[in-house]
Structure 1
Amino acid sequence: MTRLPPKPDLEWNAAGEPSARAFHDVYFSGAGGLAEAEAVFVGGCGLPELWYNTERFAICELGFGTGLNVCAAWRAWKKTRSPHALLHISSIEACPLAAQDAARALERFPEVGDLAALLLECWPVRAYGPQRFWFPQDGFALTVHVGDAAEILAGLDARFDAWFLDGFAPSRNPAMWSESVFAQVARLSKPGARLATYSVAGAVRRGLETVGFEVEKKPGFGAKRERLEARFLDRRRP
């Protein structure tokens, strides 16, 4: 029998926002998921300015979730990309949502409704391994990798310009914020690569600094007081 990835056990609040019971954590901020994605991840990585006048730009995301961060980055790319430029997002997810659950979550964000519809048409199936999607009208490619983040990253041979670290909280999902994951993030980063995450946990800050990132706290989104932005300088600590 073919082994399948686990299904997320979802709980929905009165506002129609999903959370994962196994991790006791939400998929996006109740203060505004799209605004959070744009402020914490897109803006936190210096986008769209960082990709101006580039022919190719690569983002790796840890925590595909509802696909909302992908839609936010895709939206910014559509508005600002150079002609013939290509954006490739590689996103990793251990427990992929069913398409109907993603649709229920994304319907709260009509600003990206057209992109969400395109994404939902080809929503990744519940199976391990990479699944690739191409949107030629926007010069946008998406690869969703289903499985363990450390294992998937170790198997990649790529270099990324930016990172979105959006797994569930480190205290509840430590495997995604492990030393081995941070080591792979550094290995796969281009010089000067940018990284953004909502988490300011000490283990996250120290882990990133150890593998060569310069880390800076920034004002957080919504109820969160702080978030992190980082730049890869390859100043590895012994």
Structure 2
Amino acid sequence: MSTTDPATDISAPGAQALDWHAGDMPYSLAFDDHFYCRTDGRLECGHVFLAGNGLPDRWRDGGDFSIGELGFGTGLNLCETWRQWRTTEKPAPARLSFTSFELYPMQRDDIARALSAWPEIAKERAALLARWPDAPTGHVVLDLADDLQLTVICGAALETLSAQERAMDAWFLDGFAPSRNPDMWSEALMAEVYRHTHPGGTFATYAAAGFVRRNLQAAGFSVTRSPGFAGKREMLSGQRSA
């Protein structure tokens, strides 16, 4: 069952046209896909993106840490990552920077609705919504806490990531399904992800399509296949060795 709200005009720059399925789950009309796993998106984040990158264990060594993400979407990965960062014991001072690349940034009310299913991240959701701009464009930089800065770079991922110089310690590759949005998993974009990864840095993704794995390997990552979330056969993770 789905309940359709008046959708944003998808032809408008930066707009996100949505349908809403049962349980306030947002569905992208542009990419014909759900924003997260229908079983439990928050637990999927923990299994795929956090555990797949060796987090939060890597934070316990202390120091600053940087995460890059392809596809900010509802902000669910940011909120669950922040929750685990906040509750992980680590030497002070330590600061987390979370940089996400998003073609169609969502509106505040849509983010609020999409994240309402998880009381576990109520604190993080409220802080994000309080600072989220009415019309997100360009570089959205939000100091969400003394030890956490969020940057959402609006625009096409290949173009915007190519223009950046900063490298990341870990990547969450969370675009829509490769069959629905192949540009988000292209060889050129995976090469840019590799270029923007520190030596020893990592990536993780729910996607396990053969061309995604090959593009990550061609970029230079070592790639490991492991069991996916909620019965999905595989996910991918890996590391930049040099």
Report the counterpart of residue 143 of structure 2 in structure 1.
134
Q: For residue 32 of structure 2, what is the amino acid of its counterpart?
A: H
2:192 matches 1:184: yes
Q: For the residues of structure 2 that align with 1:37 and 1:125, how far apart are their CA atoms? A: 26
1:124–1:144 contact (8 Å) kept in structure 2: no
Dislocated runs of 4+, deviation >4 Å: none
Q: Percent identity?
A: 43
1:42–1:73 contact (8 Å) kept in structure 2: yes
Secondary structure of residue in 1 paired with 2:14:
coil
Q: For the residues of structure 2 that align with 1:43 and 1:51, how far apart are their CA atoms? A: 12
- Out of 65, 69, 88, which is 2:77 matched to? 69
Report the counterpart of residue 13 of structure 1 in structure 2.
21
Report the counterpart of residue 105 of structure 2 in structure 1.
96
1:44–1:196 contact (8 Å) kept in structure 2: yes
Q: For the residues of structure 2 that align with 1:128 and 1:119, how far apart are their CA atoms? A: 16
1:89-109 Cα shifts (integer Å, max 9, x gaps): 001110111110110010101
Q: For the residues of structure 1 that align with 2:165 and 2:213, how far apart are their CA atoms? A: 25
Q: For residue 105 of structure 1, what is the amino acid of its counterpart?
A: A
Unaligned 5+ residue runs, structure 1? none
1:118-143 Cα shifts (integer Å, max 9, x gaps): 00111144343111111334x01110
2:125 matches 1:116: yes
Report the counterpart of residue 175 of structure 2 in structure 1.
167
Q: For the residues of structure 1 that align with 2:163 and 2:55, how far apart are their CA atoms? A: 27
1:28-81 Cα shifts (integer Å, max 9, x gaps): 111111101111111111001112223110000000000000011111111114
Which segment drifts farther, 216-225 or 200-209? 216-225
Report the counterpart of residue 144 of structure 1 in structure 2.
152
1:5–1:127 contact (8 Å) kept in structure 2: no
2:128–2:144 contact (8 Å) kept in structure 1: no
2:37 matches 1:29: yes
Which segment drifts farther, 30-39 or 75-84? 75-84
Q: For the residues of structure 2 that align with 1:161 and 1:48, how far apart are their CA atoms? A: 13
Q: For the residues of structure 1 that align with 2:186 and 2:162, how far apart are their CA atoms? A: 13
1:220–1:226 contact (8 Å) kept in structure 2: yes
Number of aligned residues = 231
1:191-222 Cα shifts (integer Å, max 9, x gaps): 11110000001111000001111111111112
CA-atom RMSD in angstroms: 1.5
Report the counterpart of residue 63 of structure 2 in structure 1.
55
2:72–2:101 contact (8 Å) kept in structure 1: yes
Report the counterpart of residue 211 of structure 2 in structure 1.
203
* Pairwise CA distance, 1:7: 1.5
1:216–1:230 contact (8 Å) kept in structure 2: yes
Q: Please give the TM-score of this superposition, normalised by the length of structure 1.
A: 0.93
Q: For the residues of structure 2 that align with 1:136 and 1:65, how far apart are their CA atoms? A: 21
Q: For residue 128 of structure 1, what is the amino acid of its counterpart?
A: T
Report the counterpart of residue 7 of structure 2 in structure 1.
none
